[in-house]
Structure 1
Amino acid sequence: MAGMSVTVLCPAGRRVNVKVTPNTSILQIIEEASLKQGLNPDQYELKHLRRVLDSSSNVRHAGLPNRCQLEMVEAPVLRSPASVSVHIATESGLRLVHDFPCTTTLWEILEYHRENSGVGEEFLPPVESGQEVVLVYAMRRITCPELAKVTLRTLGLIGGKCMLRHSVQSMSSAGCQAHVSSSLARRPVHHPELEEEEKLVVENDAGGHSVAPKYPVPHSRKEENYHSQEMDVSMEEIPDMPVSAPPVILKEATPAVPSHSSAECAVPLDLTTMSSPQKMPPPPKVTKLKSVSHLVNHQIGDHNAIVFSMADAPPTLTGDEDDAFFQLTAEEVRRLYKEQRRALIELQEAPLLTKSMRDMEESSKVLTAMSRYPITHLRIHFPDEHVIQASFKPTDLVADVINFLRPFLACPTADFSLSTRHPHRTLSPSTTLVAADCVPNARLYYEGFPAEPPYLSEDTLAKKSSYSGACSSLNSMNTTKTRPLGISDKGHTLSEPSSSSSSRRKEEALDLGTRPHASDGRMTGTVPKVPKWFKVGK
């Protein structure tokens, strides 16, 4: 972000260009612009678009782009400097707290704590020791040369509290940022088959050609240097080979191995020459997991209610994907581009709808959902991982669900509510399930008293079913009580009409489109009335 600048529109109508960095505070921009125009910086604030910026923030945290337009507006309250409560967190876990004026430099703050706080010499080591003090505030590193120049007001602090991270580093490691953790390394995945292949030694066959293992074996730096000396073909003769790839010995031309898929293969191909085309390794066998828990299904009341625990659910087996998995192929990019173009055309060509037309469309969606799904399935999750699964009608109210849950609670008279997540939305008791977008199924969450378990009564927990039993009960209801109607991408729609009815509707639409207006008497085909006094001459 070198060479970053912002343009400040002053109250007199003049524009001031201020050069900034990501660590420049908003207060510094106000003071520099006010100094050029002869204004009092304590009377103004900066405004970006419709947002008033915090004077204690900096350019990085304010989200200001390069060459943005800022406006100086009059502050509702005059900004008056006050003392700042400075908290210094050391590497040993010690926290030093004291109030300082906003004009105090950071070096004066360190000297005050060295003399009055009882810290050792390592808190502020001398220059001869080869170490220096580093303070970090809002991702900004301040080293020894800057400590005597930077004041609290320079950081945008004229009141309130602040936290500074203190660390002592050697002069050689000045470029390392203090108190910033390194990125977590990816957990290695052990493959027994790969380890066995890596242990195999590459032997020469009878023809003298080198035979490569199924999977590439990582080479050490010495082996790479050895192979680079023996390479017969230069990198210029291989245009498709990336430069970062390890050197490969090519002794003779080999026929190309056809690819099994258009996408990039997750396992890199070995380009070492072979006497015969090597077959691709067979895909790993996928074994179905056997059901760990037995099918235990106990209904606890009406609405096919079942209580179970999510702790009994089998663990989800997820493996680490390779970086090639997240890279889009050319076909996927073309498909995404076509979908975006189609969505943009639909938005541009969509007709304007009045409020009554929008209400009618919403009501039609609701009626279609009610006819498509006569039953909606709900799962009410409690904070202790217990779940009550029940079935309701789309026209039932949220209050009916709340009253249904009360007999199963440890405290039936408790005041609670039901909500959804992503986004978080508390459901009103007077709302129907179809209006609350809980059709055909929904996941609701219990919120309210009591704040700690148990939430369900002992009698309810005694009839707890297994996770597999709850899933099988839900699948059985889905297969028997759904209607063979279609669903579109935009919402719930009925099935497509038959061919005869669709053709009839097309003919009617064509007839209506070509039929002339009834107000035109010449085109209606009706015979006009002849007045009595009119006589046709011979």
Structure 2
Amino acid sequence: MSKDIIILIPNGRRIKIHCTPDTSFLQVLEDVCEKQGYEASEYNLKHHNNIVDLTSTIRFCNIPNKATLEMVEADKKRVEANVTVGLLLDDGERRTAEFAPNTNLFDLVMSLASNELTTMKNPTIMYMRQEVIGISALKEKSLRQLGLIAGRAVLRFLDKTETSQANVSSVYRAKPEKAKREDVTTEEPMIKNIQEHSGTSRESQQLNEHKAPKDKDIKPIDPVKLYKSIKMQQQQKIITKNDNKSDKNSSEKIADTVSRESVKATSSKRNVETKAQKKIETQEELERRLKIEEEVTFVGSQKAIAFMQPEETRDELSDLPDDFYELSIEEVRKIYHELQQKRIEFENTPLLTSTKREELEKQVSQQKINTYKHVVVRIQFPDNIILQGVFTPTDTIRDVNNFVKLHLQNQDKEFQIFTTPLKESLDPDTTLLDAKYVPCVHMHFRWLEENSGQPYLKDDIYLKQTSSDAASILASKYRAPTRRKLEDTPSCSNNKTSTSKESKLPKWFKK
């Protein structure tokens, strides 16, 4: 089975290499170094803090598919030397010589066993369960590709002929003549007895008497007894089969009922446990949501808090492979289908005037004001610290700038707040509602001049950081839609019910 191995290079890149079971780790390292311009002799491969043996192959490495290996600088530069090769022939003779790692196997065989090479149809060299078959393969394969750079090795040289298939189905052989005669003599009276046992028993006896002297060993057979014995055997077989079936059916039914009851019991237990766990979790979450302000340490006005971006999200974003950003055929089809639906919607919808469009926008903005009373604003700084504040939809970008300025260490320095993607600078006079930042927005901070290396926020803010979990709970609490009470009071509803009841009464019933 082929494998894909991911190599982490010192410059931070990841390269995927497709390997076969016979590929050596030295070949993998050299391929990576050729692509990225490194010297293979100065680096090693590490897997889970263990240096990998470069002479071993993928087959014996016990490394899973799509494993990540790190390229690490070696303590000493790897020096190549001649390899002492022992070529083992079929007759048991071993011929040794020294060769350079770049020599191919064909030249090795020609120097050690040239006479034996001419007599072989499929010359083969075996090393560590690697088979190199044929003259063309021997010319292409070198000692370096086998993982041999220095030291000693034994190669086996043989003729790989086509062997017969090992798993061949068994064939039924023909019976000998004596056995055939016995079968014929026993089968003939059985057939005749079954066909003519009602009135031709004497004729069959005479025929058997005529046939008997031909074979001295065969005795005359009584057809009636033979027929009865056959019937008895058939009945016994049928009875045993029925008994076995009934036993099996009864045992299977019992096993099925037991298994069903056990599955039901286990499933009911699991459901009860999961429900209880969910109830406990929901109760704990609600209690924590109500008391979250006690857990959070506020830094300034607008319920400001500061927290660091969680490392898990950064790791997930950095570890995404290159294939993640490539669209598959199904994804392209979905995007094309969505675009077609949007085009149809635009074509079918009636044209709106500017006044009508403004009215619709006002309605949408009014709905947002009614549903959302707060806006959660997060400003991320280059050192991955996030400043969070709570505003109203009518607040402007200028208010957010003033909020950020109060918490900066150097308040005289000019800065800029922007949103991504498609970096967009914000007009300070626009409201958060007009900028479509309701109910939450994530902004970024940067200095307009070069930074001298000082921290962005005040020192007290770095000391009073809260956890990212608590910050997310606080944000979800304030950006949740508000639940308004019904305008109708209970007194009004009672009056309505009474008037409706009175109206339903007939005229003749009234006094």
Same fold, judged at TM 0.5 (above) = no
Judging by fraction of residues, say which structure has more helix: 2
Q: With structure 2 as the length reference, what TM-score do the two structures score?
A: 0.36
